Amino acid sequence: MDDSGQAKTQSTPLKEAVRTARIEAAERSAVVVDLRDAEAARLEMLNEAIEPIFRDIPAEHLDLFDRGLSAGSAPRLWIDMVAHVAMGRDKRTYRLLQDTIHGRRVLAESNEIEPIVDAITRYVARRLVAREQMLIGMASEEPAPKRRRGRTLIAFILGLIAGAAGLLAVGYYLTLR
């Protein structure tokens, strides 16, 4: 015991090493948080830079895109359900990525905002054109002529009658035996 009456703790090399390791871990986690905050800030700047693109999207196509920032261990700026911007391993490189059935594709990669904004603009334009073509294709499909539907209905009814007659004939034959 020391002069104040409290138990004196002896400092062993292991206790000192554990204390030092805890301090280092705390410093590293602070650095990781700072890096994550920096990533989120860079993605927020990109989000502001692409705002004019999304303001120009026609109202009938707005549901195609779902732009927003997601937090987490790897912050992302989502463009739509399959495309997003993430920061590279160096935390300075913007990467425009698209998830496909064949895996993830890198559409663009740059340390600067402008090339990524241009790549996002091209991506949005391609998605709009593809949707317009799909809508035009759906509108140009002509419904089947009513005569075909009428013929189909008549064939169905005749099939029902023939089937019922066949069942009656089989039932009559079986009762005679």
Beta strands in the chain (DSSP E): 68-70, 76-78, 83-87, 94-100, 103-110
For 33-37, 51-55, 78-82, which range has the lowest pLDDT when averaged over its residues?
Answer: 33-37
* Model confidence, pTM: 0.61
Domain ranges of the chain: 13-140
Query: What pLDDT sits at residue 20?
Result: 79
Q: Which residue has the higher pLDDT, 12 or 50?
A: 50
At residue 164, the 3 state secondary structure works out as helix
Q: Which residue has the higher pLDDT, 5 or 171?
A: 171
Query: What pLDDT sits at residue 40?
Result: 84
Helix, strand, coil content of the chain in percent (nearest 5): 60, 15, 25
Query: What pLDDT sits at residue 144?
Result: 54
